[in-house]
Chains A and B, each alone.
Chain A
Amino acid sequence: MSILNLLNPSKDNLQSNLYLGSFLVGISLLDVFLNSFLKLNITSFLPSIISILLPFFLGMFGLHLMRIEFSGIKNLDRLNKNINTNNFNAALTLLIIFLIIKAIPPVISWMILDANISGDSKDACTGSGACWTYIKVWFKRFMYGMYPNEQIWRVNLAFIFLVVLAFVGFITPQKYRNLLTLYYVVIYPIIAFILIYYLISGGEFGLEWVETGAWGGLSLTFIVSFFSLIFCFPLGMALALGRRTELPIIKYVSVGFIEFWRGVPLITVLFMSSVMFPMFLPEDFFMDKLVRVIIAISLFEAAYVAEVIRGGLQALPRGQYDAAKSLGMGYWKMHIFVILPQALKLVIPGMANTFLALVKDTPLIFVVGLAELAGMLQMAKTNPKWLGYAMEGYVFAAIIFWIICYAMSKYSYNLELKYKTDR
């Protein structure tokens, strides 16, 4: 009778089932834990295959015993509802927990316990873990490329200015609020260009000239994505409006432009900008490679931005257009004051995704010889003094990019909530 009760857990023998179940689950977790963290196998007296599978079956049986509906114990009910609804879910739960326990020790020991960070040459890396010394030594290169060390303050200063100027929107008095769009679309890019041209590039005001070939690292990623972002947005907006007009020539030019750029991979666009585009320019006309790349990326992303904005324009109800027209507004007035503010609000998530894609696409400029972060990693990896630390470099870059992109996506999510208007 008691055996039968054990196999069919019910509320009647809640206590015994609960104790036995949690005991079994505890044993199984302990076994995996000891195995993974302390390299102890407490079931080594069993044949190996049973020894490996034992914690899983113990855990399964334990969870089975604990699966009692409406037990009245709040935590147990929550546990059953969330991770232990049936045998299949229990199995997956156990596998995930085991996997996490198994994965933690090697990751932690590689990243922290066995890792080295002291010293400034390869000899300092004696542990079996990661060699963070490599990152430490190369840090300036990863951030600023081949930019001269004593001039790095110029890059920092330029970025600080840009960030501060970007926050102007938050402190403007109410009176000048309506000038903000003008500021962000026209004035800010011009200031940014001047700042980067005179401060980072130099050549005037007693600042040493640094050619764009020496720019690199994460700061180049920022410069390229920043300018492409600024240029692609107005262009994309114009294309979206162009695609929606009734004027056939403008419409088909826009459609052709959008479909062309959306149909080709960015890498071929970059190839085009670096090998084919110079052929299209007058012979004595020199355009810097970085400028060409920024133009290429802007044109490419503008097509995607256009499609996103078009989605927003299409999603607006016809009534908005009709109402604006009935008030006697012309095309531009209608779009600037009625249509675009609403449409742009609708497309915030799509825009954020496009900008995220832009930031994630910038490492590609490495194929035309501009060494931003990924490119610098390639360079550092093949440096004869530092062979064999590819993994550390990629983990470092992945963490940086992940933080940037994750922050952007979370920010856009908040923006979306903030501007959400109920209809």
Chain B
Amino acid sequence: MKLKKILPQLATLFVVILIFGFFTMNAQLNMENRGIDFGYGFLTQESSFDVQFSLIEYSGSDSYGRAYLVGLLNTLLVSVLGIIICTIIGVIIGIARLSPNYLIRTTAAWYVEFFRNIPLLLQIFFWYYAALRALPLPQDAEAIFGSSYLTIKGFYTPSLIWKNLDIFIYSVIAAIIAIIFVRIHAKRLRENEGKHLPVLNISIAILFILPILTFFFGGVNVGYETPELKQLAKTSFKFEGGLSIPPELLSLVIALSLYTATFVAECVRAGIQGVSKGQREAAASIGLNRKQVLNLIIMPQALRIIIPPTTNQYLNLTKNSSLAAAIAYPDLVLVFAGTALMQTGKAIEIVSITMLTYLTLSLSISFFMNWYNAKIAIVEK
């Protein structure tokens, strides 16, 4: 009986060790033969390649470590933008799929069927190589709202120039902390005395008034810089100044958010449908009004169903953002596992760092989700 349990385990362990041992041995032999040494020392060496688009200061004289950081930040930028937009589209489509209006329902359903069934890589290619290439050249671009330009070389819009930005940010943080306190206070008031504070209105007021006050008292000032058309050569024009979003980022964010929105929409729909009709009726019968039914009864239950699969989709979006490499947007995979790998030839080190980065990202989010699920799980008596 004992043997029956131990034997398969030992066999598994043996096979795993054998495979790992075999690979390590071969890797050592191969590297010795090719004269490559193993080590992560290259991270501090000068990278001597340029990156098209980066959020932090970066040039060829910086180290590989900094190039890694540039790639990571670009990946995170795409992911965050994609997550925000796909949530907005996804929630709208998900609710639209339950609309009583036949046309809206059908349109939403076709949106989902359409974007979900085309490979994401093709969609990215479509936006980058076909759709955005049809945009006008910088000199022919027409202004949107007077000062933004959508051209073949990217999207140009006025950038804000802040004075004392840090004070403004502190005020926003202070406002958020104040809102948390208001919510706690409101909850206590509701549970102890049965009084209802208009939490949403108060929160919005705090969020706007506090930062606005800093304009008057904190010396915060905001100006803007509009993009200007500059002539480089006879037929070559370019916008300078302002905020410029490269077409790679644009097409990547559009494709990722349109694609992921279909999955988010299905999660939202399932969540709303998952709350049984009886809950709504029961809530109405104890005298809650429509808003209270939605806020206190429906949404908490629907969110419990919606959030876990939606987080999974956010995770997928983050992992899918690595497709950026296919259209040369300098994300982690392209900068690090592409350019840096070609230059150093340190395949094992670089691929392992890249994979570990994504792994850390996914595992930390899934640990958080497990914790969150355990926290919000309905405890039945």
Instruction: Give the interface of A toward B (CB within 8 A).
Output: 81-83, 85, 89, 92-93, 96-97, 247-250, 253, 259-260, 262-268, 271-272, 275-276, 279-283, 356, 359-364, 366-367, 374, 377-378, 381, 390-391, 394-395, 397-398, 401-402, 405-406, 409
Contact = CB atoms under 8 A, between A and B. Distances in A.
B125 A253 contact: no
A268 B354 contact: yes
B98 to A, nearest CB: 13
Interface stretch (B60-68, B163-171, B227-235, B316-324): B316-324
Given A275-B341, A275-B347, A398 B355 contact: no
11 contacts: A82-B103, A250-B9, A271-B333, A283-B29, A360-B118, A360-B120, A367-B326, A398-B123, A398-B126, A401-B117, A409-B117
Contact of B121 (A272, A366, A391): A366
Interface in B305-334: 319-320, 322-323, 325-326, 333
B120 A366 contact: no
A381 B354 contact: no
Contact of B337 (A249, A260, A271, A398): A271
Contacts of A97: 103
Nearest to A251: B9
Contacts of A268: 322, 333, 337, 351, 354-355, 358
Contacts of B23: 280
Given A92-B101, A264-B355, A279 B31 contact: yes
Nearest to A249: B9
Contact of A398 (B33, B99, B122): B122
A83 B319 contact: no
B323 A267 contact: yes
B95 to A, nearest CB: 12
A266 B319 CA distance: 8
Contacts of A272: 351, 355
A266 B114 CA distance: 23
B325 A402 contact: no
Contacts of A409: 117
B16 interface: yes
A265 B130 contact: no
Interface in B224-242: none
B130 A406 contact: no
A262 B100 CA distance: 38
A253 B12 contact: yes
Interface string B95-135: 00001111110010000011011111111011001110110
3 A-B pairs with the lowest CB-CB distances in the bound complex, closest first: A405-B117, A263-B362, A265-B319
A267 B101 CA distance: 41
Interface residues of B, number: 60
Contacts of B8: 247, 250
Contacts of A253: 12-13, 16
Nearest to A90: B101
B204 interface: no
Contact of B323 (A271, A282, A364): A364
A76 to B, nearest CB: 15
B27 interface: yes
Given A265-B322, A281-B26, 12 more contacts: A82-B101, A83-B103, A267-B333, A268-B358, A271-B351, A279-B27, A280-B26, A360-B119, A374-B122, A377-B125, A394-B125, A401-B117
A360 B263 CA distance: 14
A397 B122 contact: yes
B7 to A, nearest CB: 10
B103 A96 contact: yes
A374 B319 contact: no
A394 B122 contact: yes
Interface in B328-378: 333, 337, 341, 347-348, 351-352, 354-355, 358-359, 361-363, 366
A243 B210 CA distance: 52
Interface of B: 5, 8-10, 12-13, 16, 22-23, 26-27, 29-31, 33, 99-104, 107, 113-114, 116-123, 125-126, 129-131, 133-134, 319-320, 322-323, 325-326, 333, 337, 341, 347-348, 351-352, 354-355, 358-359, 361-363, 366
Contacts of B125: 374, 377-378, 390, 394
A260 B359 CA distance: 7
Contacts of A85: 100-101
B31 to A, nearest CB: 7
A247 B347 contact: no
Contacts of B119: 359-363, 374, 401
A264 B117 contact: no
Contacts of A282: 26, 29
A248 B347 contact: no
A263 B333 contact: no
Contacts of B363: 259, 263
A390 B26 contact: no
Nearest to B361: A263
Contacts of B348: 276, 279
Given A268-B322, A279-B31, A92 B104 contact: yes
B12 A264 contact: no
A280 B27 contact: yes
Contacts of B103: 82-83, 92-93, 96-97
B30 A283 contact: yes
A395 B104 CA distance: 25
Contact of B114 (A83, A263, A402): A402
Interface centre among B26, B114, B118, B121 (most CB of A within 10 A): B121
Contacts of B361: 263
A91 to B, nearest CB: 10
Interface centre among B31, B114, B119, B361 (most CB of A within 10 A): B119
Contacts of B355: 264, 268, 272
Given A249-B13, A275-B341, A283-B30, A402 B102 contact: no
Contacts of B337: 268, 271
B101 A89 contact: yes
Nearest to A275: B347
Contacts of A263: 358-359, 361-363
Contacts of A363: 119, 121-122
Interface centre among A267, A275, A390, A405 (most CB of B within 10 A): A267
Contacts of A361: 119
